[in-house]
Structure 1
């Protein structure tokens, strides 16, 4: 997970998916996330080497009013498409 600021992206943490395709906690910042623009990048080519998208990045914003909320950002991927949404 990355946090955007005026100087670019700042590395916040990483995780690998398990056999269910789920990732653990990406960062140690869990009690109160700093508002800002974040990017999660997925190495989808490792999961599906013959797919069209070797990497997928999702950029989203956390607002001041959301800093105590839980964020679940699922990625659904197939060889030639992907979809995401804010989960609960």
Structure 2
């Protein structure tokens, strides 16, 4: 199996993939104690990215964080939100224990909540 990191975002409020949602990938640096931004992407019409966030060459074991910009997505979709919105940026902090495995981090979103899990 080839190691990679992927994600998928579904908007459960409309029962469709979340197209155009901005996602940032950060990696924890154990030496400095800070997170370092690795990349930033937007989801395609299927709520996925056109390529993995990390492939086996770029993957390393350690702590990572995905930031999903859900308030901006719902604003762009014309969804009325409180000010400030209940959810702004949804962080999902996770670990990669084996760079040769596939780590899939799906996110289900709605204006009032979200859910995530380790996918396959």
The TM-score bracket by the shorter chain reads 0.7 to 0.9
Q: Which has the higher strand share?
A: 2
Identify which of structures 1 and 2 has the higher relative contact order when contacts are C-alpha pairs closer than 8 Å and 6+ apart: 2
Match of 2:103 among 65, 68, 71: 71
Q: Residue 74 of structure 1 aligns to a residue in which SS? A: strand
**TM-score of the superposition, structure 1-length normalised?**
0.84
Any unmatched runs of 5+ in structure 1? none
> Is the radius of gyration larger for structure 1 or structure 2?
2
Q: 1:24, CA displacement in angstroms? A: 3.2
1:13 and 1:26 in contact (8 A); partners too: no
- Pairs aligned (count): 85
Runs of 4+ in 1 over 3 A off after TM superposition: 24-27
1:19 aligned partner:
45
RMSD of Structure 2 on Structure 1 (CA): 1.6
Q: Would you say 1:59 and 2:93 are equivalent positions?
A: yes
Match of 2:55 among 30, 35, 48: 30
